[in-house]
Amino acid sequence: MVLYLIGLIPIITALVWLRHRVSDIIIRRAGGARAPVLAGNLLSASKLYYEIGKNQYHNRLVDWCTSQLDSLPPGKRTFAEFSLTGSKRVLITRDPEQIKAILATKFPDFGHGPMWHKLWYPFLGDGIFGVDGQLWHDSRGMIRPMFSKDRLRNLAIFDACTDKLVSKIPSSGATVDLKDLFYRWSLDTTTEFLLGENAGSLEFPIAPLVPKGDYYRGIKRIEQFIEPIIARTLAICPTRLQELSKSYMEFSFLHSIALYTRDPKLIRDQIMSVLFAGRDTTAATLSWAMYELSNYPVMWTKLRKEILHKLGPQATPTYEILKDLTYLKNVLNETLRLHPAVPLNMRQVLETTTIPGRSGEADIVLLKGDSVTINVLGMHTCADLYPPTSEHFADLKIFSPERWEHWTPKPWTYIPFSGGPRICIGQNFALTEMAFCLVRLAQQYEKIEYRGDWTAQKLQVDLIGTPALGVSLALYKPGEEQDSLSKHHID
């Protein structure tokens, strides 16, 4: 048996070599070239795939992708490819022109692909994030109306949920994991917006939406919550739904979808998709924002000063005021630069196509069935795409909202919400929601303090990038810190 397996090795090696040569011929006939190859034979490719598995297991895949590009020769550090068998290739890219082609100019040639749809079907079904082509186009049209600016001007949902969030933050000096509260808060705001009914997770914590263990039971638990609400909505006659659409206070995302379709499965799939995206991305970004700000007291003071100048300690922010808070916008922009919600964005090549190569060189040919990994975080921190470090422009790895006062990213070098036709349809909703929450926290708390080893924090990525160690903080209202210090001194 051992001799038989050993005898297979040269046959497999020859087959892989042959597949690579066939790909070379197809690529040349298409008038283009390969990307730089990270692994050129079966042995090196096997070692590379072992490293991928190991880094994925230890939650370091994003860093691994960046390090592979960094290891290339100078001037060639923006994209590369690899393949185990020679038949299906993977391109890793942080090249803005390639990303523009993948997400926009060559949009029809790329998608999530059938494997993605199969993998996520139990959870997302035929919702917007699990499909391509006409199904995606129809989903986009169904969802778009509820994310108009006019709909977002009503901030009552954010107000009530954020008041509940603040009420859950303990007294001065006590440690609280804000990440946990943010995930519960964002679930409540998202279900209120989508369904018109609040999940109440700030009062009664529930398990994560996509448990790592019992996946299907986790999905069933969500369905038990949303399906009765869908049934009640479908019991409303279309004429009444049309009447509700004129009321920002009563009309929900669910009502809007029910005007398009009476199919409960299709409604369920769209709700699941937007619930997942709306909850996890917002909570993760707010967690990163408070993590970063806790290390820079001067920034928290500056943010609070801007907010108090515009609103004072109690006034409720309006949509227009939120958009006018410049430093707050810079804080969110910088958080999304260093901590994009989706650090790695995957696409499959649906049709053989080309994307730009390096300046003055041939286009890169991608064959049907190949995959692309867009290294969003790697691009956001690629020194070649930024000004040199100076007095007004901090090192790229440092959190610095101030850099946005003197600098605007070049097109397609900053894509926290993706880009092209598939750009995040809810980005304005998310930015408004996050801004509202940060305003409320800054109004209430004069100082914030990180509890634990700030430098030990790690990036955890399933699909969304989140702080692996939580965000443990102490928050102090004006005058409370001294009281707390005095109490600890007396004790």
Token code pair at residue 180: 């946990």
Read off the pLDDT band of 2 (50, 70, 90): low
Element (H, E) at 110: strand 110-111
Q: Does position 406 have pLDDT exceeding 60, yes or no? A: yes
Element (H, E) at 111: strand 110-111
- Please report the pLDDT score of residue 16 as a whole number: 63
Instruction: Output the pTM of the full model.
Output: 0.90
The CATH architecture of the domain made up of 135-490 is Orthogonal Bundle (1.10)
**Is the CB of residue 367 less than 8 Å from the CB of residue 81?**
no
Q: Does position 218 have pLDDT exceeding 90, yes or no? A: no
Token code pair at residue 255: 């009502």
Mean pLDDT of 304-309: 98
**Is the CB of residue 38 less than 8 Å from the CB of residue 48?**
yes
Ordered by start, the domain boundaries in the chain are 135-490
Mean pLDDT of 408-431: 95
Percent of the chain with pLDDT over 70: 90
What 166-172 contacts at long range (C-beta under 8 Å, 24+ apart), as own/partner pairs, is 166/440, 166/441, 166/444, 168/202, 169/475, 171/480, 171/484, 172/474, 172/475, 172/476, 172/477, 172/480, 172/481, 172/483, 172/484
Q: pLDDT tens across 70-126, in order?
A: 999 988 899 999 988 777 889 999 999 999 999 999 999 999 999 888 888 888 899
- Beta-carbon contacts of residue 344 (< 8 Å; ≥ 6 apart): 61, 62, 65, 373, 374, 375, 376, 377, 461
- Beta-carbon contacts of residue 341 (< 8 Å; ≥ 6 apart): 280, 281, 284, 285, 416, 464, 465
8 or 178: whose pLDDT is higher? 178
- Please report the pLDDT score of residue 206 as a whole number: 52
| Alpha helices (H) in 30-128, listed in sequence order | 42-57, 61-70, 96-100, 113-124
Please give the Cα distance from 219 to 148 (Å, whole number). 29
- How many of the other CB atoms lie within 10 Å of CB of 182? 25
Amino acid (one-letter) located at 266: L
Q: Is 161 labelled a binding residue?
A: no
Least confident of 1-10, 20-29, 186-195, 381-390: 1-10
Mean pLDDT of 293-307: 98
To the nearest 10°, report the CA torsion of 212, 431, 106, 344.
-30
- Please report the pLDDT score of residue 6 as a whole number: 59
- The CA-atom distances, in angstroms, between 84 and each of 12, 300, 348, 369 are 11, 48, 17, 14
Please give the Cα distance from 279 to 372 (Å, whole number). 26
What is the 8-class DSSP label of residue 390?
A: B
**Is the CB of residue 390 less than 8 Å from the CB of residue 375?**
no
What is the 8-class DSSP label of residue 354?
A: E
Select from 241, 166, 159 the least CA-distant residue to 192. Answer: 159
Q: Does position 5 have pLDDT exceeding 60, yes or no? A: no
Select from 369, 367, 366, 427 the least CA-distant residue to 98. Answer: 366
Please give the Cα distance from 483 to 10 (Å, whole number). 75
Q: pLDDT tens across 325-367, in order?
A: 999 999 999 999 999 999 999 999 999 999 999 988 999 999 9
CA atoms within 13 A on the CB side of 257: 30
| Alpha helices (H) in 153-252, listed in sequence order | 156-167, 178-195, 215-234, 238-244
Token code pair at residue 312: 């004072």
Return the CA Rg of the chain. 25
- Please report the pLDDT score of residue 488 as a whole number: 39
